[in-house]
Amino acid sequence: MKTAIKLSPVDIESRKKLEFTSGDTVRVWTKIIEDESKNKFRLQAFEGMVLARKHGTQAGATFTVRKVASGVGVERIFPLYSPMIDSVEVTKTARARRSKLYYVREKAVKDIRRKMKSQVVRKVKSGTTTAEIAETAEAKEE
C-alpha cells in the first residue's frame, strides 16, 4: 500500500501537461494577496507572448511572457510550478522558428522608431495657402 506524499499545493501533473511553446499567446492568472491576515486574494491576468520556456518540466522550470502596456514592453518570468499561479490559458498558438524569442525586444523598439520617423511635424507659416503647402511638400518629396 503506497501513500502519496503531497509536497506542493500545485497539481504538478496538470502543469506538466501544459503544452505551449515560444510564440504562443498565453493568459496567466496569478493570485494577488490582498489581506494576509485573512488569507484573501484576488486573481489578476497577465496576457502576452511567450518569449522563452526554460528547463522543460523540471522543478525549476520557468517561462517568460511579454506584453506591451501603455506603449511600454513589460516582461514577467513565471515559475511553472508556483502556487501563486492559478491557471495558464493558451489563447493563441503560433509557430516560431526559434525556441527563445529575445530578438522581439529589439524588433519592437525598431518598429516604434520607424513609426515615429514617419510622423513628420510640419510647421506652417501664418498667411500661406493650402496650395502653397502642397507645392512645397511635393517639391521636398521629389
Question: Which top CATH class is 12-101?
Answer: mainly beta
Lowest mean pLDDT among 27-31, 40-44, 130-134: 130-134
Checking if the pLDDT of 4 tops 80, the result is no
Distance CA 108, CA 7 (A): 41
Domain ranges of the chain: 12-101
Is residue 137 helix, strand or coil?
helix
pLDDT at 113: 73
- Is the pLDDT at 65 greater than 60, yes or no? yes
Reduced to 3 states, what is the DSSP secondary structure of residue 47?
Answer: strand
Sheet containing strand 62-69, edge to edge, reads 72-79, 62-69, 40-54, 25-35, 85-92
Helix (H) or strand (E) holding 79, with range, is strand 72-79
Query: What's the pLDDT band for 98 if we cut at 50, 70, 90?
Result: confident
